[in-house]
Structure 1
Amino acid sequence: MQISTYCGLILLIVASCCFSIPIKQSNGCGYEACNLGDPNKLNVHIVPHSHDDVGWLKTVDQYYYGARNDIQHAGVQYILDSVMMALDENPDRRFIYVEIGFFWRWWNQQADDMKAKVKQFVNDGRLEFISGGWCMNDEASTHYNSIIDQHSLGAEFLRDNFGECGRPKIGWQIDPFGHSREQASLLAQMGFDGLFFGRADYEDRATRNRTRTMEMVWKASANLNDKGWLFTGVLPNGYGAPSSFCFDYRCSDSPIMDDPHFQDYNVDERVRTFIQIAHDEAVGYTTNHIIMTFGGDFQYGNANEGFKNLDKLMKYVNAQQTNGSNVNVFYSTPSCYLYALNKVDRAWPSKTDDFFPYASNPHGFWTGYFTSRAALKRYERHSNNILQATRQLNAFADLNLRDSIFTLSEAMGVAQHHDAVSGTEKQVVAFDYAQRLSDGIAVAENVVNQAYAKLLPKDSQSPPLVSQFLCQLSNISQCLQIDGQDRFTLTLWNPTIHPVMQHVRVPVRTDYTIRDPTGQTVFSELFPISEPTLNIPGRTSITQKQIIFKASLPALGFNTYYFETKPDQVTSGESKLKITHNEECVLKNQNLRVDFDDQGNLHQIINLNQNIGVSFSNQGFYWYQGFAGNNSQSDFQASGAYIFRPVASIPQPVSQTRSLTCIIAESVQTAVIVFNDWTSQEISLYDEGEFVEVEWTVGPIPIDDNIGKEIIIRYNTDIDSQSKYYTDANGREVLERTRDYRPTWNYTVVENVSGNYYPINSRIWIKDQNRQLTVLTDRSEGGGSILDGSVEVMVHRRLLYDDRLGVGEPLNEVAYGEGLVVRGRHFLIVEPPTSSARFHRIGSQRLYMHPIVTFSLTDQEYVNYSAAYRQTWSALTDTLPLNIHLLTFEQLGQKEYLVRVEHYFELFEDDTYSQPVSFDLQSIFKSLGAINSTVELTLGANLPLAELQRLEWLTGDKESSRMAVSKEASLEGTTIRLTPMQIRTFEVTLT
C-alpha cells in the first residue's frame, strides 16, 4: 500500500468517527416521524425488508417453521425473531413487514414482554407494516371479492393489536407477475397513499427509466375519479439490494471490512461503488430522493449480519459528504420515501391502463400462469362462494360463530398469494392449498348446519334437524350420500339480494317426485349423464342419470325441495327425451337459438329478442405446443408454469372429426360434442335461459409423444372486431385491448400469441357496430383475440419442461395415475353492444356467487316434514335495485355487522343500470332488528371514512388527487346512495 493511500484511509477513518450518524430520537409513527433527508443532497432511502412467500417451493407451514431446508433454506419464525433483536440494538434501524399470515402465527407464540417491545417498535416507526394483507396477493388470477377479504383480514389484525400506528398506508406488490388496474383502485379505496412494485415489462421499464417516468399517478378507475387514483412507483432493483450489496447470509457479496490493519479492507471501494450506484439510479428518477430495497426472498434470518453491514455502509458513505459527496443515506420505509416525494410538491405523469402482460425478456411473457392449475383456480373461486354464503347464514341465524368461519377465511387469505391461485407453486404445495380450503369448507359446513338448525324449524317442538351436507363432487355428477336413498331434501341458499331462477341438476339412480316449498309437485325430468362425464377418472358413482328441475329462489334466502322416489309403475320422464346422433341439431328457447350441423360444428347463435345473430366457424378445442427450451437465454425460453411460449402461432385442432349427440327435453336442450377421448363440450340452453352455457371437459392431456400441450377453446365468429377486444380486471372494470399494441410504449412484437394474452377473471368480449359476443368464465383464465372475430380462452395446460423461474418442476398435473381432468363452464352472450352489460354483469355474478346447495337425508313423510320445518325464507321483504350487489354481510359480534354494498355497473354501460342508485340499508336487516348506528369505513374496514386523510398529488395536466369525503358518502338515516362501481363499507349496530 502506498503511503499517500494509507494516509487517505486514516483521514477517512478519523472523519468517519466524527461524522457517525446520530441516532434520531423517535417522534412516533406516521409521516411526521419520517426522516426527509437533506433538500440539498441526493437522499437515499434504505428499506430493509424480507419477502416471505406464503407457500411456493414449500408449504406455508414449512416456510414458517423452517422445515424442509433441503428444498429451500427459509424459516419465517427465525426471521422475525432475528429482526426484533436487531431493531432492539439500534433505534435508528427500520424494517418493514408485509405478510400478516406469517406475522399472525409468530405473534400468537410470543410472550407479553416481546409483544410489548414489538408494539413499541411500531409506535416509534421502527417496525412498519406495509400493504398489510394476509399475503401479497396475485393480481391476475384473483377476484376483487377475495382481494378485499384478504386485505381486510390482515388489516383487522393490525388494527386490533397495534392501533393507528399499525395501519398500512402503502401497497407493496413487489413480486406479482404483472399489475392490475383494479388492484390499485382497491388499494386507493382502502385509503392507501401509494403503491410500489418490482416487476414491469422489460421494454416498459427501459422506456420509463429513459424518460424518467418510473413514478406516476395511476388513475386506476374509469368510474371513481380521484377516489381511484394512487401514486405508484416502479422500484429500481426489483425488490433486491443493489448489485454487489446483498449482505444476507445466502449471498456471496463482500461485507463491509473496515479495519485498515487487515489486507481485505474494502471501505474505499465499497463507498465509491455505492455512490456510483446511487447516481446511476437517480438518472431514472425525477427528485433528489431515491429508494433502495435491501432484502429478498426469506432474507434476514440473521438480521444482525444485514443491519451491521448497513450501519457501516451508511456511516462511511455519509462521511464522504465532507469530501464533496452529495449522497445522503439513511434508514427509511416506503411510506417515508413516499412522503418525501409528496413534499417535493411537483406534478407527476399519469397512467390509465394496466401493467399486463408482463415480459421479462423478448420470449418470456408471463401469461401462462393466467391458466396454470385450472382446477385449483376453480376450487378457490368455489371456496369464496361458500365463505360468503356461510357468513350470511351465520349472521341471519345470529350464531356469532365468526371464530369458526376464520378457518376458511384464513385458508382463502393464503390462497390469494401470488404463488397460490396463480398456479406457480410446486405440486405438493398446490395440494396443501387445496387441503386448507377443503378443511375450511368442512368447518363452514358445520356452521351452515347450525344456521339451518335455527332457521328451518317452525318452533321449538320441531324434531332435531338431520345434518345438512355439501356434495363436493357435484361438478362431475356425483353425490354418493344420496345414491339409492328413498327420501332426501335439497336446500338452496341464494347469497344475492335478487331473486334467482336456476335449473338444478341432481345425480340420481331412479326417478323422484319433487315438492316445492308450497308442497306442489315440481316438474322434473331425468336426463342422461354424458359419457365424457361418466368416464372421468376418480368418479366412483355408478349413477348414470340426473334429475333436472327449475328452482325459483327468494332474494337472500333459501328454498327447500323434498325428494321422494316414485313408485315403480310411474313412467319416468326420461322417455320424453328426444335424442339424435350426428344429425343437424337446433337448440331453441324463448330467447335464443343455437344451430349445429351434422358434423357437430357450432353454426350460429341467434338472439331472438334482438333479431341478431353471430355465425361461427371451427369453434372448438385447439392446442399450442409448448416450447421445450433449456432457458439458457431468451431464444431458448421454455413454456412453463409462468411462461406461455408456443412453438407456432397457429394452434392445431385436437381432432379432425367430432361426434354430436343432441338431447332435447323441456327443461334443457343439450348438444354433447365429443372431439376425442380427452376433450368434449356440452352446449346447453335452459328453459327461459338468457345464456348459452358451455360445459367443457379437458384431460387427461396426452403426452406420450413427449410434447407439452396448452389447450384453448376458440370461438371464431364473423364479427369485425378490428384488432380490439375487452377483458375485465379482477371481475370489475373492463379494459380495451388492441392486438400487438401497448398504450405507453412502442411495443416490439416478438411473440404473436402470448404477447396478446391477458387475464380473463370473469369475461372477455369482441364487438362490431351491431353485435357483441361475450364469453363469461367460471374462474380466471388467460386469453385474447389473436385473429379478428375470434376469442380464444386457454382452459388447461400440461407441460414437460420447467421455465426456470424458480418452481423447479414442469407443470404436469396428474390424478388417479394419469393426467388431470379439468372441467368448467363458459356462458356465451350475443347482444347488441348497447344492451350487453346487463347480461354480462348478472351472468358473471351468477358464476361466482351462485346458490349453495346442501342435502339432508330424512325418513319423514312429506306431511310431517312440512309441518315441522320452514321450507322457504328470505331476509328481504323489499325488492332491491338490480344494479346493487351485497358484497359482504358478516356478523362481527352480538348486534354488530360488517356490510359492503356495491354498484356493480360501470358508467355508460347501460342507460338504466349505470345511473346512481339509492336504497335503504335497513331493508337487509329487517329479520334481525332495527339499525341503531351506522359508521362508514374505508374499503378495508379498518378506519372510519370520516377520519381518512390521503396525501394530495398533482398530475402533469394540473389535475389534483385531493380526496375529500364527499356529500354522497354521508348517510341520510339508513339510506345509501351508490354511484357506478362504488363500494361502500359499513359497521352496523342494531338496537
Structure 2
Amino acid sequence: MKRSSIIIILFLSDPGLRVFLPVVLNFCTHSRTAVFIYVESAFLFKWWKEQPRLVRSKFRKLINNGQLELISGAWSMNDEATTHYQSIIDQFTYGLKAIDAVFGPRGRPKVGWQIDSFGHSKQMASIFSQLGFDGIFLGRIDYQDKKIRFETKTAEMLWRASDSLGQKSEIFTHILYNGYDAPKDICFEEFCDFREFFDFPQNLWENLIENVENQLKIYKTNNVILTMGYDFSYRQAEVLFRKLDTLIKYGKALQRNGSQYNLMYSTPSCYLKAVHESTTKLNIMWPKKFDDFFPYASLPTRYWTGFYTSRPALKRFERIGNNFLQVCKQLYVLARLNNTYRTNLATLQEAMGVMQHHDAVTGTEQQHVADDYAKLLTEGLNKCSPIAMTSLNTLSSTKSNGSKQSTIPYTSCFLRNISQCKLTEEAENFIATIYNPLSRVIDYYVRVPVTKGHYVVVSPNGDELQAQLIPIHPHVLNAPGRKSKATLDLVFVATELPPLGFKTFYVTKRSKPKLSRNHRQSEIEQKTFVKFSRINGYLNKIIINQKAVPIRQEFYYYKSASKPKEPSGAYLFNPAHNTPIKIAERVKNKFYIGEVVKEIHQTFNTWISQIIRIYPKENFVEFNWSVGPLPSTNRTRHSTEVISRFVSSLHTNATFYTDSNGREMMKRIINWRPSWKLHVTQPTSGNYYPVTTKILIRDPKKDLEVAVLTDRAQGGTSLHNGHIELMLHRNCLKDDKLGVGEILNEFAFDKPLVVRGSHYLVAGSYLTPSNESIASIEKDIAQRKHLEAWTFLSKTNYDYTSYKELYNMEYSGLKRALPKNVHILTLEPWGNKKILLRLEHIFEKHEDLILSRPVEINLEDLFAAFKLIYIRETTLGGNQWLDENKRRDFNVVGKISNRKNLSNRRNVNSKFIINLDPLQIRTFVIWIKSLKTK
C-alpha cells in the first residue's frame, strides 16, 4: 500500500519579526493558501496600536479566515526555570484577555508554543493543560534526551504534568525536529546564503524529501513539520514567500504524476488536528512522560544552568513587582475603584508580563536591556502606587466626627533592603500600615531603618508594643549608592494581620536611645536555636521543630573553565573544577539579643557578610546574605560564582528535591535522569537545577527533612550526601557565545554589583504524623515570603488619639479567613461590576494527612466590600467558559477517555459552594453588588 505523507510548513514568530509584520500581512492578504502564526501579545499590541483602521480590518479578516493564527497568547514567551507560577498565570491572563477583547473567539489560542525557553517544567505543561490547550510544542531539550527520543520514536508524547491532578493535567507534547529553524538546505533567508533559482531545481527537492524521510523515521504519523524561521527571520519576507510558493507549486505538479508528498502552508493547530485524527484511526499508543526537561544541555560541555542565577538583583526585583501587583489588584477590588485607575494597573501588569520573557528574568540579556526592564518595572510600581494610596484612604476613612479628613500620603520605601528610607529616618511621628495579601491571618515582623532615639510603637487597639533597635551591619552601611542617615533598624511584630486586610501602627520617636546589647557567645547558646563553633565561628547546629540538627553553613565560589569556547556566561555554568574554593576559614560574629529578634552579624571577608536571624514565633532560621562587589581580574578573566552551602549529617542517597515554578516538588538524583540514561559529562553543572522557591533533602532512617527556601530564583543542587548548595551571585568575564554578545559583569554606582537576599532554613520530621507537618510549615513560610505583607508608610501630624478618631486602623477584606490549604491566587478587576477570582488548593496529594484532603469553600458573604450575585467558571486564563472548552483527546487506550474538557462535575451550585481537590486551581468571573462604593 502506498504511503501518503503530509508535509507542513510552519512560519514562525520571533521578537525580531515585529519589524517585518506588514510584509507578512500584505502577502497573506493576497494569497488564499498562505498562513502564519504569531506569538507574544506584547509585541502584537505594540504594533496594533499604531495601525490604521484599514490594516486592522485586514488583520481581523486573516484571523477569521484561519490564515493568521495567534498561539500561546501570553504577553511574552516566558522562561520556565526562573519564573513563578503566579506570574506565569498572570501574564497569560493579561495577554489572553487582550486577544479576546480585540479578536473575539476566532483569535483564541489553543496551542502552546514554547520553542525558545531553555528547558521545560512540569508546572508549565500543567498550566497549558488547565488553559484548555490541545497541545504544546517544545524547541529545546537536552541533546542526549533528544537523540534517544528520535531513535525510539518518542519525540511526541502525553505529558502528565501533575501527579496530583492526574489525567486532567495530561497534554500532547511535540519536540520539534529542528528547533524553530528552517532546514539549512531549504532556507531562503539572507543569512542562509541560498542560491537564486527560477525553475525549482531537482536537487533542492531531493534535499527536502531527505529531510522529510528523516522525520518520518522519528514521528509516529505521516504528518511532518518543516519549521521555516529563525531569530530575526523574514527580513526579506517577500523573497521567502515567493520561493516557498514555487516549492509548493513544484510539489503539487509532482503529485499529479503520482508523488506521495503533499506540501502545504499550515499551523500547529492544524498539525494537531491531523495527528489527532491519525491517533483515533490507528489507535496509537503515545508514550507517557512524568518528569520535566531540566537541566538543558545543547552540547556535552554546554549546560544551560548558569542563567538560573544570572542577574540576581533583577530576579529579586521581579518578585517584588509581583508582590506589589497582587497588593494593588486586591486593593483595587476591595476599595471598588472605578476605571480611572485601569491604565495605572495595566502599566505594572505589562511590565511584569515582559519580565517573564525567556531573555528577561533569566538574566540572559545585554546590560542596557536589563536596565530597560528594571526601568519598565519601576514605572509600573510607581503607576500602581496611586491605586494603593487611594484604596487605603477609602478603606481607612471613617468621617465619624463630621470633619473633613485629609488624604494620607501612603508610600512604599523600596530601598529598605539596604536599610534606607528617608521618611522613617526623618519623621518624628509616622504611620506604618501593614497590608496582608494572604487569605488567612498571619504575623509579620516589621523592619524599618531609623536614626538613634527611643521609639514607641502603638497598635490599633492602643497597646504599646515591644520594639527593638538593632545596629545595621557595616557592610550594609557602606553599600555602594546608599544615602541614608539610618544606623539602626527598628523591629516590631504586627500580630494577627487580617486576611486581605491591614493594621495601622503609630510610631513616635523620643530622645532616649535603647540599643540591643552586644552579648558573649555563651549567652546566645542558651537563648537561641542556633549554635556556633568556638574555633572558627561557623554555624554548626540548629535546634528547630523539636529536632537537633548538626548543620554547617559556609560560602564558596567556583572559577570558570579556562577553555575559550566553553566559559561560564549568562547562560552557561561551566566551572574549571568540581570542588569550589572556600571563602574564609574563620568568621567574625557579633550577637544582638532582644525580645523581638535575635541576630548574629557575620563577616566573612570584605565582600561577603551575613545576618542570621531567629524570631521567637517563627519555626525557621533566616540567613540574610550580602555578596559583592565580586572580585574582578581582567588578567585571568575567570568568573566568580558564589554559593552558600549547608552541610548536614543526613544520609540522602544522592537524592534531593526542587520545586517546579513554586508548586509541585521534583525528585532529583545525582547523575541520573528518570526517563533516559545520562552519560555524565559535567558532574557539577549537569546536576544543577532551577530552584524557584525551595530545595530540600531527606534522611529516611533519621526521619529528618532539611529545606531551604529562597526569596528569588536560584540554581541549586545537592552534590554530596547531606549537602544543599545554592548559587547566589556571579560574574562571567567571558561571553559564552550563545547570543548575549557581552560579558556578565554587573555594576551599580560605578562599582561591581552588591546583592542582598535571604534563605529560610527549616528542619523537621517528614514521616511521623504530627499536628503540624513539615510540609505545612514550609508551605506557610513560602507563601508568607512570596506574598509578603506590604509595609506602607506615611508621615502624620496627629497624635495617636486624634488619628484613631479620624481613621480606621484595622480592616479585613474577608469576613472570615480561608483554611490553611486554600489561597486566593487572584483577585482583580474584570470589568463593570465583575471581578476575576482564582482559588487554589496549595497542597499536593499525600503531602499532609489533613491538609491534602479535598476542601469545600462557601463564597457567599465571604467578601466585606461586595456581595456575589452570580459566578461562572472559566479556564485557567479567564478567557473561555469552562463548560464550553473542548480539548482534543490523544489518550487512546482501548476507548477515548473522558478528558475532552476540564469541567469539574462538582461545579458551583446556587449557594456559591465550590470544591477544591489537591493542587487544583479554579478560576471564576464573579458579578457583584457593591456594599461600599467609591
Are the counterparts in 1 of residues 861 and 868 from structure 2 also a CA contact under 8 Å?
no
My pick for the range that moved more, 386-395 or 916-925, is 916-925
Correspondence for 2:427 among 481, 485, 489: 485
Q: What CA deviation, in whole Å up to 9, does each residue of 1:563-601 have, x standing for no partner?
A: 1112x3x4x331xx3313677842746xx4555545221
My pick for the range that moved more, 189-198 or 78-87, is 78-87
1:614 aligns with 2:541: no
Q: Superposed, which structure 2 residues align to 1:422-437 within 5 Å?
A: 422-437=362-377
TM-score by length of 1: 0.90
Q: Superposed, which structure 2 residues align to 1:778-927 within 5 Å?
A: 778-834=711-767, 835-925=773-863, 927=864
Aligned residue for 1:507? 449
Change (3 A) 1:532 1:583: farther
Inter-partner Cα distance in structure 2 for 1:883 and 1:867 = 37
- Secondary structure of the residue aligned to 1:749 is coil
- Secondary structure of the residue aligned to 1:649 is coil
Are the counterparts in 2 of residues 39 and 288 from structure 1 also a CA contact under 8 Å?
no
- Secondary structure of the residue aligned to 1:823 is strand
Kindly state the Cα deviation for residue 77 of structure 1 after the two structures are TM-superposed.
4.3
Inter-partner Cα distance in structure 2 for 1:484 and 1:122 = 59
Aligned residue for 1:555? 499
1:274 aligns with 2:274: no
Amino acid at match of 1:954: N
Percent of aligned pairs with the same amino acid: 40
Inter-partner Cα distance in structure 2 for 1:942 and 1:594 = 54
Are the counterparts in 1 of residues 538 and 586 from structure 2 also a CA contact under 8 Å?
no
Q: Superposed, which structure 2 residues align to 1:61-72 within 5 Å?
A: none
Inter-partner Cα distance in structure 1 for 2:484 and 2:720 = 42
1:762 aligns with 2:707: no
Aligned residue for 1:57? none
1:743 aligns with 2:678: no
Amino acid at match of 2:537: G
Are the counterparts in 2 of residues 175 and 199 from structure 1 also a CA contact under 8 Å?
yes
Q: Superposed, which structure 2 residues align to 1:198-597 within 5 Å?
A: 198-255=139-196, 257-259=197-199, 267-345=201-279, 346-400=284-338, 401-459=341-399, 461-509=403-451, 510-552=453-495, 553-566=497-510, 568=511, 570=512, 572-574=513-515, 577-580=516-519, 585-586=524-525, 588=527, 592-597=529-534
Kindly state the Cα deviation for residue 655 of structure 1 after the two structures are TM-superposed.
1.5
- Secondary structure of the residue aligned to 1:92 is coil
Kindly state the Cα deviation for residue 750 of structure 1 after the two structures are TM-superposed.
1.1
Aligned residue for 2:770? none
Inter-partner Cα distance in structure 2 for 1:381 and 1:971 = 36
Inter-partner Cα distance in structure 2 for 1:923 and 1:753 = 54
Are the counterparts in 1 of residues 455 and 508 from structure 2 also a CA contact under 8 Å?
yes
Correspondence for 1:679 among 584, 601, 608: 608
Amino acid at match of 1:431: D
Q: Superposed, which structure 2 residues align to 1:719-730 within 5 Å?
A: 719-730=650-661
- Secondary structure of the residue aligned to 1:394 is helix
My pick for the range that moved more, 519-528 or 76-85, is 76-85
Change (3 A) 1:754 1:972: farther
Q: What CA deviation, in whole Å up to 9, does each residue of 1:720-758 have, x standing for no partner?
A: 100110000000011100100011111001111110010
Kindly state the Cα deviation for residue 50 of structure 1 after the two structures are TM-superposed.
2.2
Q: Structure 2: any 5+ residue segments left out of the alignment?
A: 768-772, 930-934
Amino acid at match of 2:431: T
Change (3 A) 1:550 1:959: farther
Kindly state the Cα deviation for residue 318 of structure 1 after the two structures are TM-superposed.
3.0
Change (3 A) 1:217 1:961: farther
Aligned residue for 1:27? none
Inter-partner Cα distance in structure 2 for 1:946 and 1:852 = 37
Q: What CA deviation, in whole Å up to 9, does each residue of 1:429-463 have, x standing for no partner?
A: 00000110000000111111111121112127342
Q: Superposed, which structure 2 residues align to 1:970-981 within 5 Å?
A: 970-981=908-919
Inter-partner Cα distance in structure 1 for 2:51 and 2:307 = 37
Amino acid at match of 1:614: V
Aligned residue for 2:868? 931
Inter-partner Cα distance in structure 1 for 2:461 and 2:533 = 40
Amino acid at match of 2:442: V
Amino acid at match of 1:48: F
Inter-partner Cα distance in structure 1 for 2:376 and 2:734 = 28
Q: Structure 1: any 5+ residue segments left out of the alignment?
A: 1-37, 53-73, 260-265, 632-636
Q: What CA deviation, in whole Å up to 9, does each residue of 1:203-261 have, x standing for no partner?
A: 00100010011100000001111221110000011101112222223432234x124xx
Kindly state the Cα deviation for residue 923 of structure 1 after the two structures are TM-superposed.
4.2
Amino acid at match of 2:315: K
- Secondary structure of the residue aligned to 2:423 is helix
Change (3 A) 1:957 1:738: farther
Amino acid at match of 1:724: T
Aligned residue for 1:693? 622
Kindly state the Cα deviation for residue 893 of structure 1 after the two structures are TM-superposed.
2.7
Inter-partner Cα distance in structure 1 for 2:389 and 2:446 = 21
TM-score by length of 2: 0.95
Correspondence for 2:12 among 49, 52, 59: 49
Kindly state the Cα deviation for residue 968 of structure 1 after the two structures are TM-superposed.
2.0
Kindly state the Cα deviation for residue 922 of structure 1 after the two structures are TM-superposed.
2.8
Change (3 A) 1:779 1:495: same
Amino acid at match of 1:605: I
Inter-partner Cα distance in structure 2 for 1:422 and 1:382 = 16
Correspondence for 1:650 among 579, 588, 592: 579
- Secondary structure of the residue aligned to 2:229 is strand
Inter-partner Cα distance in structure 1 for 2:815 and 2:336 = 19
- Secondary structure of the residue aligned to 1:237 is strand
Inter-partner Cα distance in structure 1 for 2:732 and 2:519 = 37
Change (3 A) 1:676 1:363: same
Q: What CA deviation, in whole Å up to 9, does each residue of 1:268-317 have, x standing for no partner?
A: 11111111111112211111111111112122243212211111111112
Are the counterparts in 1 of residues 466 and 595 from structure 2 also a CA contact under 8 Å?
no
Kindly state the Cα deviation for residue 321 of structure 1 after the two structures are TM-superposed.
2.8
Q: What CA deviation, in whole Å up to 9, does each residue of 1:508-548 have, x standing for no partner?
A: 11322111111221111111111121121111112111111
Inter-partner Cα distance in structure 1 for 2:406 and 2:88 = 39
- Secondary structure of the residue aligned to 1:824 is strand
Inter-partner Cα distance in structure 2 for 1:361 and 1:186 = 29
